[in-house]
Amino acid sequence: MSHQYILVQKKDRVGLITLNRPAVLNALNDTLMDEVCAALAHFDADEEIGCMVLTGSDKAFAAGADIGVMAQYGLMDVYKGDYITRNWAPISRIRKPIIAAVAGYALGGGCELAMLCDIIIAADNAKFAQPEVKLGTMPGAGGTQRLPRAVSKAKAMDMCLSARMMDATEAERAGLVSRVVPLAQLLSEVIKTAETIASYSLPIVMMIKEAVNRSYETGLAEGVHFERRLFYSTFASEDQKEGMHAFLEKRPAHFQHK
Ligand code: DAK
């Protein structure tokens, strides 16, 4: 498959997608998002892939939605065209884990795209912001919803209302990113983590993703109940037998993803 704005690679059981629109710091347009969605869906359906990584360049993960495109749109264009929603929403239905490897700017839609992933690992030069207010608009892909869940209401308000940039250290302290690594090691560290995840039983990994995501969308009792049902169901898998017997036999587990 050929792409205009992304690069796609398979590294053993890891699917790597690199945003590649350097002239505009990976600004997100429809073609780019169509390509990202298609590549993620392709890896999601590929039995040989256990985890995906989404990254950008050293300078920018993505500097937001393409302002040149948005500037021309009126209400009817965005509403009737289901602007962005049609090619962003499918990302939240991807069942395998996605890690965002963020270096440089993750602004507006770039920050929202990273938050659509399951884990954000940041380089020490990463900068996060929701600067839409400066353009006379507001976050439209989860900035006002996922950010407060990640970093607290006060910090999300601060970010969305003031448009200030949060550096990697603050983002880690606030809980937006899981860890910060030196820029030169970002991709190797992220791929190492993705390989570790991909080495585990795929259906179990998918269940864990599903269960953690459920915690965002339901109350505690319902969430714990959901977790318990999935936990019980892991006992019907061959990989649960393999994992536990491997421990008892003091040998590495060889998961068959079933
Ligand atoms: N769109 C288009 N072009 C962009 C861009 C963007 N978001 N960001 C940067 N560029 C372009 C610049 O215009 C420049 O192009 P040339 O002048 O070379 O032709 C080139 O990239 C390099 O940028 P700079 O020259 O500005 O580079 P600097 O290092 O000086 O500054 C910067 C880097 C990232 C601080 C600056 O470029 C900047 O502030 N960029 C805009 C950031 C921004 O405001 N982003 C938020 C956009 S609003 C939705 C989902 C999502 C969204 C909306 C709806 N739905 C689901 C409905 C998202 C909205 C947004 O993201």
CA distance 170 to 21: 27
Q: Is the pLDDT of residue 40 over 90?
A: yes
CA distance 223 to 212: 9
Cβ atoms within 10 Å of 4's Cβ, excluding its own: 11
Residues 115-152 have pLDDT tens digits of 999 999 999 999 999 999 999 999 999 999 999 999 99
Q: Hey, whose CA ends up nearest to atom 28 of ligand 1? A: 25
Q: Is the pLDDT of residue 84 over 80?
A: no
- What is the average per-residue pLDDT within 101-123? 98
Q: Is the pLDDT of residue 154 over 90?
A: yes
Q: Is the pLDDT of residue 107 over 90?
A: yes
* pLDDT band, residue 182 (cuts 50/70/90): very high
What pLDDT sits at residue 87? Answer: 84
Sign of CA dihedral 107, 110, 115, 119: negative
Counted residue by residue, the chain has a size of 258
- Sheet of strand 6-11: strand arrangement: 6-11, 14-19, 51-55, 98-102, 119-123, 179-181
Q: Could you list the active site residues?
A: 65, 109, 112, 132
- What is the average per-residue pLDDT within 226-238? 96
What pLDDT sits at residue 216? Answer: 86
What pLDDT sits at residue 224? Answer: 96
* Cβ(24) – ligand 1 distance below 6 Å: yes
Average pLDDT of the chain, as a whole number: 96
Under 8 Å between Cβ of 54 and 101: yes
* Cβ(123) – ligand 1 distance below 6 Å: no
